[in-house]
Chain A
Amino acid sequence: MTTQDASNSDRIALLQGTLDVLILRTLVFGHQHGQGIARAIQQSSDDVLLVDHGSLYPALQRLEKKGWIVAEWGVSANNRRARFYELTVLGREQLARETHQWCRLASAMARVLGLDGAETVR
């Protein structure tokens, strides 16, 4: 019915545990509210990654509890009240760790699948 529905088939549902790292990565650029994070992930992945908005919030909740992000109510660009999330020092460290792991995993997968070459992810 909508544009989103039409392009659903091209999108990849998120793997377990990937959402956390995506949220952390998004917040590197500054504080953001939930809806903004969802949109940002979608846009920065060129609309390939589909974020189920509903599952975003439990993930945010989880990260907050772990102390990787903190939240505060604020006002959005179009003057709506929203809860804004910000990365903590711990969160930054976590992001660095996870990024490193993802690179290792990606290159390992690439090697296994026979895509090993200069252009693949380093």
Chain B
Amino acid sequence: MIRRTERLDDDFSEEVEAHLRLEADQLIEEGMAPEDAMDAARRAFGNVTQTRERFYESNRRMWLENLLRDGRYALRQMRRSPISTATIVMSLALGIGLNTGIFSLADQTLVRALPVRAPEELVQLHWNGRFVGAGMGSVGSGSLVPYPLYADLRQANDVFVDMLARTTAEVHLRIGDRSEAVPAELVSGSYFSALGIQPAHGRLIGEADDLYEDAHPVVVLSYDTWRLRFGADPEVVGTQLRMNDLPMTVIGVAPQGFRGTDWSMAPGLWIPMAMKARATRGWSGVDERRARFAHVFARLAPDVSREDAAAQLQPWFTSYLRADTEREGWPAVTEGQMAEYLASKLDVRPGSQGQSRLQRDVQQPMLILMVATGLIFLLACLNVANLSFARVVAGRRATALRSALGASRWRIVGEQLIESGLLAAMGCALGAALAPVVSRGVLTFLERLDATLDGRMLLFAVAITGLTTILSGAAPALYVASVRPVNALKQQTSATAAGFTLRKTLVVGQFVLALILLIGAGLFSRTLGSLRQQGPGYSTTNLMMFSVQPMNDGFEREGTKPLLRELVAAVESLPEVEQAGLAAFEMLTGGGWNNPMTVDVGERIVTDRSHPMNAVSEGFFESLGTPIVKGRDFDERDHFEEFHWDLRSVIVNEAFVERYLSNTEPIGARLAIGNGPDVVPEIVIVGVVQSFRDTRIRETRPQAFFSLWETRFSGGTFYVRTRTPSEVAGRSIRAAVAKVDPTVTVLSMRTLDDQLDRMLSNERMLATLAGAFAVLATLLAMIGLYAVLSFSAERRTKEMGIRLALGAQRWAAGGLIVREAMVLAVIGFAIALPAALALGRLVESQLFGVQPLDVPKFAGAVAVLMLVCLIASVLPARKVGTMDPLKALRSE
């Protein structure tokens, strides 16, 4: 750092001394008295110290020495006021931690591209229009297309350089003597090469692994599966494992961090699409044009835009549609349906983020969280600004003294900046440590996301907060430095009055933010409360569920029916069990079996949309405790011993009757699944069941239930009403299942309360986090207010002394401080209430059982903040109330 020998400080001092002596000598020679000469020489020289300093500062190492010295000084200052230091650091840490944590998740769900080669080139195809399935179909835009469409288009287009198709399945993986359900991604042979993924070990699925149906029994393990279930053993490549009780060879391991094309599920395995029948219980569908299950992604050719691609594909797609209608097995459709089908479009949408159901579900809650986090961040920054200001102002006499002693303005501001910088650094370090905790906390609600933090987000939050701290430290420092030292030394209040107004404004700002967050928390917790209280429409207490998929455990389809019956009987015979029922589709998942229906009530009604349906055993409604309000429950009349699909009887819910059968006798009416013109309604309605909520927890929808024993469903979910708490019953149920057949895997055994909580994960997340944020915000606001009031109390010491001396009551003097707090709070409320109302309207779709303008909630939030106000003003008010008027008067 030092290139040549610098002149030493002492050498310079010596030169100055020499100068003074020479000058004095000369003055004496000129006739001045020797005792005056040295003084005169000094006067002629001017400020000796300053000259020395200027020499000293010309040295290049200055900045470092200054920095170290200021750093030491700053640390000393911090030690002197530990509470305010701790508060600033904690505020910063919270601001940074929350922001980084939440924004990392938001980035994953809303923004982040797939970790693949050039994700921006990826597009996803959407079928926009009518789809005609086997005897049924639906209108709308969907990302699912029939697999043959992908295969055809891959041959025919020149707008994409590459295409891939994927779908998902849950498979059973047997490791040792345990079998577990693992999500798998079924992929076309082009999948990994099109995405540009390289294996961690072995090789990945290629075109050669996806040629002939059922001919390529290979799997690729995900990195996590390989690590957690196979002990990260590279030798696993080449070995066999049993998937759905069928042998498959492990050919490789996918790279770490690659989680497929859907953020909402992390596949444990990848399986060639040609092997789909093995993964999805004997049904392949890769040749079916009347079924759609594939998501199709493509990589745009260079210089082709999405619009170009869509325009070029459309003529091909239209001819595909026309050819499709002439194919064998094309179902009868109405003219209108035909026209809609032929007018369908193939949309080319951005695909860089992959397919995400999760994204759609959590988008709004995430946005709300982000806004709340932003508010907290703002609040923390206001707090930091406020406290920094308090520190600077408190130290203004020392500053003024140093300024009077010749410290330059820049030195003073510089010191302040160093102090702020140190505070920021400490806050950032703590915040960075806090961020993963926040992420993991949120992930308990969104379990499928990845907890890794985004470095960019951390950098961003650190930059913003650091900047805020430094600015909030420097602004008051500059301001104080500009105050004439003599005024500050005399402690003239005018010198700090302007800053005080600013601080009061900051506190009002904090109150506004805190109130908004409190009201938000109230709305969300009320929503969660209402939804929980309302429940699905049946009692969830002592109600358990578990699922079985015997075909994944190696059963033949025909063998599943007797097995399921045996299982129902075994579970029902347990002394802990009151009643057990079985449904083909798990409830409270947000999805399931949906189809349009045709109802015959003298006239033919085709339902305008798909309705949820299920296939259930007798005893199902009894287990739930939902009464049959009309007609009968299923019984042995609705059984087939043999295994085939022949629906004869149906039970509909009250909502269905209300919608389609309100003017007629529902019992005996007939309906059919599907909306084609050749659909013959011949399934007889035998009963009407009380409505309950299923696919959507906020509303009851028209629903139909078929007899499980008249279908070919090979598995399902048991609903068990128990007499004992669930832990005890759970063990007995597992034992009972194992006794029937030890190879049957019991899946997702949990209570219905748990299941409901899963469905309410967004609501729980919002309610919990909004509540936590509101508490934080209130605390931060309280600290801010306390700081301002303490300062105000100190500033008004003399005034209070006079008041007390003139006979004012002690409580009245203290009351003045409380009043000051209340005024600030009321101003805050006046601003916050309309803002909260407006924000409430924005989040209305997330609310339930509560209005955006919920007067008790608003009043509650106001009351909480008023209480906070009181708490924050108690200490300063007490100080004023208990002071000795004489001492107060004598104070400056």
Would you call A4 and B40 a contact (CB within 8 A)? yes
Binds A, one of B43-51, B382-390, B468-476: B43-51
Q: Which of A35, A36, A55 touches B46 (beta carbons < 8 Å)?
A: A55
Tell which of A79-87, A97-105, A114-122 binds the partner.
A79-87
Query: Which of B18, B36, B44 contacts A80 (CB under 8 A)?
Result: B18
Which of B20-28, B84-92, B217-225, B540-548 forms contacts with chain A?
A: B20-28
* Nearest A residue to B46, CB-CB: A54
Residues of chain A within 8 A of B51, CB atoms compared: 54-55, 57-58
Bits for B1-45, please: 1 = Cβ < 8 Å to A, else 0: 000000100001011101101110110000010001000100111
B890 on the A face (CB < 8 A): no
Minimum C-beta distance from B48 to chain A (A): 7
Contact, CB under 8 Å: B58 / A4 = no
Which residue of chain B has the shortest Cβ distance to A5 in the bound complex? B43
- Whether A35 touches B26, Cβ cut-off 8 Å, given contacts A53-B19, A80-B18, is yes
Whether a CB of chain A sits under 8 angstroms from the CB of B178 is no
B55 within 8 A of A: yes
- A92 contacts partner chain B, Cβ-Cβ < 8 Å: no
The answer to whether B18 and A33 have CB atoms under 8 Å apart is: yes
With contact pairs A58-B58, A61-B55, A80-B21 given, residues A53 and B45 touching in the complex (Cβ less than 8 Å): yes
B46 touches A82 (CB 8 A): no
Q: Which of these, A36, A54, A78, A82, contacts B45 with CB under 8 Å?
A: A54
Partner of B54, one of A2, A58, A82, A83: A58
Whether a CB of chain B sits under 8 angstroms from the CB of A52 is: yes
Contact A34 B26 (CB under 8 A): no
| B18/A54 in contact, CB under 8 A | no
> Do the beta carbons of A53 and B21 come within 8 Å of each other?
no
Q: Considering the chains assembled together, what is the distance between the CA atoms of A58 and B40 in angstroms?
A: 21
Contacts of A55 in B (CB 8 A): 46, 51
Interface of B is mostly: helix
- A35 contacts which of B22, B43, B54 (Cβ < 8 Å)? B22
A54–B25 touching, CB < 8 Å: no
A62 to chain B, nearest CB (A): 8
A53-B23 contact, Cβ under 8 Å, with A2-B32, A58-B55, A61-B55: yes
Of the candidates A54, A78, A83, the one whose C-beta lies within 8 Å of that of B15 is A83
A57 to B45, CA, bound (A): 10
Residues of B within 8 A of A38 (CB): 19, 23
Is the CB–CB distance between B18 and A39 below 8 Å?
A: no
Chain A: interface secondary structure? helix
For chain B, the count of residues having a C-beta within 8 Å of the partner chain is 26
Interface members, chain A 51-72 (any B CB < 8 Å):
52-55, 57-58, 61
For the complex, what is the distance from the CA of A4 to the CA of B26, rounded to whole Å?
13
* CB atoms of B22 and A54 under 8 A apart: no
Q: Which residues of A contact B23 (CB under 8 A)?
A: 35, 38, 53
Query: Would you give the shortest CB distance from B41 to chain A, in whole angstroms?
Result: 8
List residues of chain A with CB within 8 A of the CB of B16.
57
- Of the candidates A2, A39, A58, A80, the one having the most CB atoms from chain B within 10 angstroms of its own CB is A2
- Chain B nearest CB from A60 CB (Å) reads 9
In the complex the two chains form, what is the Cα distance from A94 to B16 in whole Å?
26
In the docked arrangement, what's the CA distance between A101 and B775, Å? 72
Taken together as a complex, chains A and B put the C-alpha atoms of A104 and B459 apart, in Å, by: 57
Query: For B44, what are the chain A residues with a Cβ–Cβ distance below 8 Å?
Result: 4, 53
- Report which of A2, A35, A78 forms a contact with B19, defined as CB distance below 8 A: A35
- Which residues of A lie under 8 Å from residue B58 when comparing CB positions? 58, 61
Interface size class of A (residues with CB under 8 A): 20 to 34
A78 to chain B, nearest CB (A): 6
B15 and A34 within 8 A (CB)? yes
Q: Given the complex of chains A and B, what is the CA–CA distance between A111 and B856 in angstroms?
A: 86
Residues of chain A lying within 8 A (CB to CB) of residue B47: 54
Smallest CB-CB separation from B37: which chain A residue? A2
How many Å from the CB of A1 to the closest CB on chain B?
Answer: 8
Contacts of B43 in A (CB 8 A): 2, 4
Contacts of B18 in A (CB 8 A): 33-35, 80-83
The interface bits of chain B over 49-67 (1 if a CB of A lies within 8 angstroms of the residue's CB, else 0) are 0110011001000000000
A57/B46 contact (C-beta < 8 A), A33-B18, A35-B23 known: no
Among B22, B45, B48, point to the contact of A76 (Cβ < 8 A).
Answer: B22
B59 to nearest A CB, angstroms? 10
Instruction: Tell me, rounded to whole Å, the shortest Cβ–Cβ distance linking B9 to chain A.
Output: 12
**A57 and B12 in contact (CB under 8 A), knowing A34-B19, A35-B19?**
yes
**Do A80 and B46 have beta carbons less than 8 Å apart?**
no
Bound CA span A82–B45, Å? 16
Least CB distance from A81 to B in Å reads 6
Nearest CB of A to B170, in Å = 78
Which partner residue on chain B sits nearest A81 by CB separation?
B18
Distance to closest chain A CB from B622 (angstroms): 99
Within the complex, the shortest CB–CB distance from B43 to chain A, in Å, comes to 8
Most chain A CB within a 10 A radius of its CB, from B18, B21, B58: B18
Return chain B residues, CB-CB under 8 Å to A78: 22, 25
Q: How far is the CB of B219 from chain A (nearest CB, A)?
A: 74
Tell me which residues across on chain B come within 8 A of A39, comparing CB atoms.
Answer: 26
Q: Which partner residue on chain A sits nearest B50 by CB separation? A: A54
Q: Which of A2, A33, A57, A58 contacts B22 (CB 8 A)?
A: A33
* Complex interface: chain B residues within 8 A of A33 (CB): 18-19, 22
> Taking CB as reference atom, which chain B residue is nearest A35?
B22
Q: Which residue of B lies closest to A37 (CB)?
A: B19
- Among residues of B, the one whose C-beta sits closest to the C-beta of A83 is B15
Q: Which residue of A lies closest to B41 (CB)?
A: A53
Contact status A53-B46, CB under 8 Å: yes
The smallest beta-carbon distance between A84 and chain B, in angstroms, is 10
Across the interface, name the chain B residue whose C-beta is closest to A4. Answer: B44
Nearest-CB residue, chain B, relative to A36: B22
Cβ contacts A to B, 8 pairs, < 8 Å: A4-B44, A35-B26, A54-B50, A57-B16, A58-B55, A81-B14, A82-B18, A83-B18
The chain B residues found within 8 Å of chain A, CB to CB, are 7, 12, 14-16, 18-19, 21-23, 25-26, 32, 36, 40, 43-48, 50-51, 54-55, 58
Known: A33-B19, A82-B19, A83-B15. 15 other contacts (CB 8 A): A2-B40, A39-B26, A54-B45, A54-B46, A54-B47, A54-B48, A54-B51, A57-B16, A57-B55, A58-B55, A58-B58, A76-B22, A80-B18, A81-B14, A82-B15
> What are the 10 A-B residue pairs with the smallest beta carbon separation, nearest first?
A54-B46, A35-B22, A53-B45, A54-B51, A35-B19, A83-B15, A82-B18, A54-B45, A34-B19, A58-B54
